[in-house]
Structure 1
Amino acid sequence: MKNNNVLVLGAGGIGGYFGGRLAEAGQAVTFLVRESRQKKLQQNGLTLKSQFGDAHISVKATTASQLNAQYDFIILACKAYDLAAAIESIAPAVGDSTAIIPLLNGVAHIAQLNSRFGAEKVLGGSAKIQVTMSEQGDIVHLNDWCELTFGEQSSEMSPRVQRFQQLFEHAKGVKINAVNDIMQQMWQKLVHLSTAAAMTCMMRASVGEIVRTPAGKTQFLALLDNNAQVASYHGYPPSQAFMTLYQRIFSDPQSTYTTSMLRDIEHHNRIEADHIIGFMLDKSISANMDCLTLQLAYTHVKAYEQRRLCAQD
């Protein structure tokens, strides 16, 4: 197998974890980061803390102004609100044979990437992982989820999909899924995440804390059902296995599961309100499904954004 050069935009939670595991396995990985992060990575390396094994790795890092090569694969691991800037940052690295694997939440970004680079260069991708970056810059894996799922938008099992899968052959702490239904899987994840983010952010609580309230379980499962119906209307009905799994997850009174959006709110950070909850609300409206819970959740997170902006003035 020919050597494949991999560019990872972002060395935060998701990019740092999956890119770090690739680098740990000996693959040619370069992180595209801001100058401040580059300096820290050059000085201290990248530290992963995980139940699947801690690692301290010397990594290669570059900035957008220094980018002067094209890459076989580009893993796009940024927040949705940084997508426009990310697209311009990676543009010089996109060649004739480059494949872009976006690991953003939701599905709205696919249309933007297709418009800029052409659908033939864009794979679908999804990461199922709870991970964060500590104040020291360490990548901290929070549970046993470590799945990376990807595939062609066309549903073809192409040679480049197989090649990307092979890159992770010796990477530990990563479960790789090369699939021929990635758009279906991305929509299913959107159903999961829009439900979990709406409820945990609006209630400022974990799944278990919400379920232990008098009507929490009922509200959770009703929103899950609504979002599944929205996905079905738009051509991506969730599987029965998916629904059974998340009905169980959203009914567990002992669950400590929270979403990254809630953690961002708790740390007074920017959030992906429009890309996740707002997108699902728009799709709900276009399906003529009036969902009050989604409206309230979206109002809640947008009000948070307003308060955060006022605090910065």
Structure 2
Amino acid sequence: MRILTVGAGAVGGFFGARLDQAGHDVSFLVRPARAAALRARGLRVEGQGESLSLTPGLVTAEAPGTGYDLVLLSVKSTALEAALSDLAPAVGPGTAVVPLLNGMAHLDVLVERFGAEAVLGGVAKVVTTLNDHGDILRMAPPAVIQTGELDGRPSARVDAVRAALTGAGIDSPATDDVVGAMWHKWVFIATLISLTCLMRGSVGEVNAVAGGPELGPALLAEAAAVAAAAGHPLPEAERAFTEGVLTAPGSPLTPSLYRDLVAGRPTEGDHVLTDLTVRARAAGVATPLLDLAALHLRVHEHRLAARRG
């Protein structure tokens, strides 16, 4: 399968490396700074028993190539608009575009840009980060991509994508409701972001103090209510799993958005949290805690914008 991975960061780089090692024709569409680092050092993945090192095939916005069967779109929402312009020439009549972003707003943008026939739903579950050298560190076992047609119908192209993923050691469970799966991932990540960003600490640090263990479930209840109002109620097993993650004593877990926040970098707050609270208001669902977390991130973004002048 001929695959274009848009972005070679902690998520796209990991999945792209796995697919490359499995024998697929993988190219990475990257910005100049990342391209220079990858040419100098290669693409490396370490941790959890992983040890991959490859010389990646790199393409640029000026010449992204054509004839791709699959595009894995793995960029932060803050880079989405630029990424769509860069990859547009690479999306042909037979190309399937699978976004691996959190939230839902990007789906409308993709469908408007490339047409509903090109876009699949996508959910990524992987715990990776970049170290100071730009290498990818895998910090926990999950390596999952769920995908499917937006209307839930079975299709040969979904089967082909899933076969490529599973053949590369990437779990790709079948789903007849990938949009629902995207909502459920959104509930998880929005709750985790709100918990850690509001309290400026890891899950374990929040739960180590009085009142901490009650905050995660309260945030989860709000986010789950929004999903239910949108027609995608959270299954009880997922609710129990998420609550367990949020209340785990001693857990060092923090999401990448939290790490961006404490490092003083721009975040995906609007895409992940503000959009969720806007949908909550439209559905008449009260989300005072999520509203507070979204406001917290908007203040951070305002401060960064003021510094940029």
Given the alignment of the two structures, is residue 257 of structure 1 paired with residue 253 of structure 2, yes or no? yes
Alpha-carbon offset, residue 290 of structure 1: 2.5
Root mean square deviation, CA, Å: 1.3
1:105-161, CA deviations, whole angstroms, 9 ceiling, x for partnerless residues? 111110110111111110000111111112211011121222111111111221111
After TM superposition, list the pairs within 5 Å mapping 1:1-313 onto structure 2: 4-172=1-169, 174-313=170-309
In 2: Cα distance, 1:41 partner to 1:245 partner: 37
Identity of aligned residues (%): 35
Q: 3-state SS of the aligned residue for 1:132?
A: strand
Alpha-carbon offset, residue 44 of structure 1: 2.3
| 8 Å CA contact retained: 1:42, 1:60 | no
In 2: Cα distance, 1:68 partner to 1:74 partner: 12
1:47-88, CA deviations, whole angstroms, 9 ceiling, x for partnerless residues? 001213211112100111022323111000000111111111
| 8 Å CA contact retained: 1:105, 1:276 | yes
Q: 3-state SS of the aligned residue for 1:97?
A: coil
Alpha-carbon offset, residue 266 of structure 1: 2.0
The gaps in structure 1 that reach 5 residues or longer are: none
Match for 2:142: what amino acid? W
Question: Number of matched residues?
Answer: 309
In 2: Cα distance, 1:58 partner to 1:169 partner: 22
In 1: Cα distance, 2:79 partner to 2:122 partner: 17
Match for 2:281: what amino acid? I
| 8 Å CA contact retained: 2:162, 2:172 | yes
4+ residue runs of structure 1 moved beyond 6 angstroms?
none
Match for 2:15: what amino acid? F
Alpha-carbon offset, residue 19 of structure 1: 0.4
Alpha-carbon offset, residue 225 of structure 1: 0.8
Q: What's the TM-score, normalizing by structure 2?
A: 0.96
The gaps in structure 2 that reach 5 residues or longer are: none
Alpha-carbon offset, residue 192 of structure 1: 0.8
| 8 Å CA contact retained: 2:222, 2:286 | no
| 8 Å CA contact retained: 1:113, 1:122 | yes
| 8 Å CA contact retained: 1:161, 1:178 | no
In 1: Cα distance, 2:302 partner to 2:250 partner: 33
Alpha-carbon offset, residue 14 of structure 1: 0.5
